Amino acid sequence: MNTFKPVLTEYIDQKDCHTLPFYKSIGGYTALEKVLTMNPDDITQEVKDSNLRGRGGAGFSTGMKWGFIPKDSNKPKYLINNADESEPGTFKDRLLMNKAPHQMLEGMIIAAYAIGCHTSFIYIRGEFYQEYKLLEQTIAEAYDNNILGQNILGSNYSLDVVIHRGAGAYICGEETGLLESLEGKRGWPRNKPPFPAIEGYLQSPTIVNNVETLSCLPHIINRGASWFKSIGPEKGPGPRLFCVSGCVNNPGVFEEPMGVSLKDLIFDRAGGIPDDKQLKAVFPGGSSSAILTANEAMDVMLDFEELVEKGSMLGSAGIIVMDETVDMVQACLNIARFYAHESCGQCTPCREGTSWLVMMLTRLINGDGKPGDIDMLLEITDNIGGLIDFSKGSFGKTICPFGEAVAWPVRSFVEKFKGEFMEYLPQEKVVA
Amino acid sequence: MKSNGKPKPRFTFEDPERVKQIFSQYPDKKSATLPLLHLAQSQEGYISKNVIDSIAELVDCHPAVVMDCVSFYTMFYTKPQGRNIIQVCQTLSCSLNGADELVDHVTDKYKIKPGETTADDRFTLMKVECLGSCGTAPVVQMNKEYHEDLSKQKFDELLESFE
């Protein structure tokens, strides 16, 4: 398909690839050595110049985020590695933690040094117990080798890294929900501003970066911003881990340059659809993205800008494939139920609206739908996520983007597969 | 122990060194709430009122604040569970790859529905939302461990291996 050589996952098939000796044997921690002799502002500039955008879902410029840390604040600064991977369809951070934990840790130390942080946290989802135990070893190895702790690699820089386990709440992947959770509270997202870079953990300046984002950093330092920017589209470049699951022969994580074609990913890398069934619909960027129909999916490049133009988003690059046998109403209910369960309950439109969606879809599937139900489903999505007009970027009835994250996919199911929803309406009522 | 008119039974951590170590990792006490709840649950199997009172005292807040936390997170149980907890992921990719059949299999074989525990306390069955392992669907978490790419037969063998 192309000559791209994986960057983040190049060594994941090798024996003991998670260990420090292995990581050192492939040049691990040389970027850190280099960074420790650099001015922190120059590192931030290099990351800005690379155009690296966050891999967690929002796609915000990483260097710009770091740049918001106030220079004149005498409060401690915190770096938090968001390892709360919970977006349905997304399973790349787990792979990176299992196979390349030192690459991630090196990225963390680089980011921490750049923002002047001396205590950093890994917020890992509670269910990832095996990964938590493995990262404990990774961190212990790093302390034993003067890669963490006092005077890292003989420099004047010191850093401690602490692993903090979540406890089963999707919303804690939202950065301010995460901060509340870290502070020992329920994970209720905060009103913004102030953004975490100004007032984050314990009201101190805080940067929250995703596992994959951090894992890119050693490579940017070693090979330079212009190398990174040369991979894929300039506005959102770099290698990206695409997760393909659902109705495919060979599901998995595939590292490709940004801007790869969705068709190639599904039919080449992921081996196409079992039994040569037809493609019906695809989530291109986790379950919070609007679904694409088969026609739309066959003609799209996976790039931040292009997916926004197509009325969806790249999000966490979690691709869920649905074949012709998948009932779109059932699939919609499955996703609505996820959001109803995971709504944190803080904002009324989301707390109530998500449950309403589940009740109405269940009623429809049970054959008790009423003629106005399909329009009402759309109305509820508007009540939760705002009157959605992609061209105007209309948002905002809830404190965090969870409202949009449920409104977008549900609305896309109803609008793009309205016929299937209509078929569930009892016949005599359709006539009326 | 009866508590009427006497001091209430107290919960104490079996490993006070670990508690100390947890506190040493955070700049404030309250951040230790979740790690202490995890530690208590691994000791007791669930979070009792006594656990909440003890943790509230340790982190220096009202027990209601700790309870608020416990009730929010799905991984904390406020009641005793079976010896083995079966958590079947039911979100889309797992559902498309046969997760519902796995749930039905447990229900048929052990006569428990999601949320229930067998009479002998051997299993508690739960349906859970996305476990973040969609590429190896369907996925079941047995206690702390993930089991991936499960066919009905593999799942059955797995269940048999738990006492």
A347-389 pLDDT tens trace: 999 999 999 999 999 999 999 999 899 999 999 998 898 755 5
Q: Does residue A1 sit within a domain?
A: no
pLDDT tens track for A384-421: 987 555 555 456 789 999 999 999 999 999 999 999 99
A219 and A359 within one domain: no
Distance from CA of A45 to the nearest CA of B (A): 30
- Strand order, beta sheet including B123-128: B123-128, B84-89, B140-142, B145-147
- Rounded to a whole number, what is the largest CA-CA distance in chain B? 57
With CA atoms as reference, the chain A residue closest to B61 would be A184
A354 and A271 within one domain: no
Q: What is the CATH number of the domain that holds A62?
A: 3.40.50.11540
A108 and A177 within one domain: yes
pLDDT tens track for A120-135: 999 999 999 999 999 9
Which of the residues in chain B have pLDDT under 70?
A: 1-8
A288 and A367 within one domain: no
Structural element, H or E, at residue A97: helix A92-99
Task: Tell me which of 3.40.30.10, 3.40.50.10190, 3.40.228.10, 1.10.287.70 is the CATH number of domain B84-160.
Answer: 3.40.30.10
CATH 1.10.10.10 describes domain B16-72? no
Quick check: B130 contacting A, CB < 8 Å? yes
A128 and A221 within one domain: yes
A92 and A128 within one domain: yes
Going by DSSP bridges, is the β-strand pair A318-323/A301-302 parallel, antiparallel, or unpaired?
A: unpaired
A335 and A276 within one domain: no
Distance from CA of A250 to the nearest CA of B (A): 8
Q: Does residue A48 sit within a domain?
A: yes
A333 and A318 within one domain: no
Domain boundaries, chain B: 16-72, 84-160
Q: Number of structural domains, chain A?
A: 3
Domain end, chosen from A323, A341, A368, is at A323
Q: Does residue A7 sit within a domain?
A: no
Measure CB to CB from residue A184 to each of B69, B92, B135 and give the nearest one. B69
Q: In this structure, which amino acid lies at residue A222?
A: N
Q: Identify the band that residue A1 occupies on the pLDDT scale cut at 50, 70 and 90.
A: very low
CB A100 within 8 A of CB A215: yes
- Give A124's strand partners: A83, A165
Residue A261 domain boundaries: 239-323
pLDDT tens track for A145-177: 999 999 999 999 999 999 999 999 999 999 999
Buried b (16+ CB within 10 A) or exposed e, A84-123: bbbbbbbbbbbbbbbbbbbbbbbbbbbbbbbbebebbbbb
pLDDT tens track for A186-222: 999 999 899 999 999 999 999 999 999 999 999 999 9
Domain end, chosen from A229, A263, A297, is at A229
Give A200: exposed, middle or buried? Use CB within 10 Å, 0-12, 13-18, 19+. Answer: buried
Q: Does residue A10 sit within a domain?
A: no
Q: What percent of chain A has pLDDT over 90?
A: 92
Domain end, chosen from A293, A323, A353, is at A323
Which pLDDT belongs to residue A359? 97
B-chain residues near A86 (CB < 8 A): 130, 132
Residue A144 carries which DSSP code? H
pLDDT of residue A84 exceeding 50, the answer is yes
Which pLDDT belongs to residue A184? 97
Q: Does residue A370 sit within a domain?
A: yes
Quick check: B78 contacting A, CB < 8 Å? no
The overall average pLDDT reported for chain A is 94
What is the distance between the alpha carbons of residues A226 and A50, in angstroms, rounded to a whole number? Answer: 6
Which pLDDT belongs to residue A2? 55
pLDDT tens track for A214-269: 999 999 999 999 999 999 999 999 999 999 999 999 999 999 999 999 999 999 99
Structural element, H or E, at residue A199: none
CA end-to-end distance (rounded Å), chain B: 30
A337: which 2 tokens?
């139920």
Which pLDDT belongs to residue A396? 75
A217 and A186 within one domain: yes
Quick check: B134 contacting A, CB < 8 Å? yes
With CA atoms as reference, the chain B residue closest to A185 would be B69
Which pLDDT belongs to residue A427? 78
Measure CB to CB from residue B91 to each of A88, A94, A127 and give the nearest one. A88
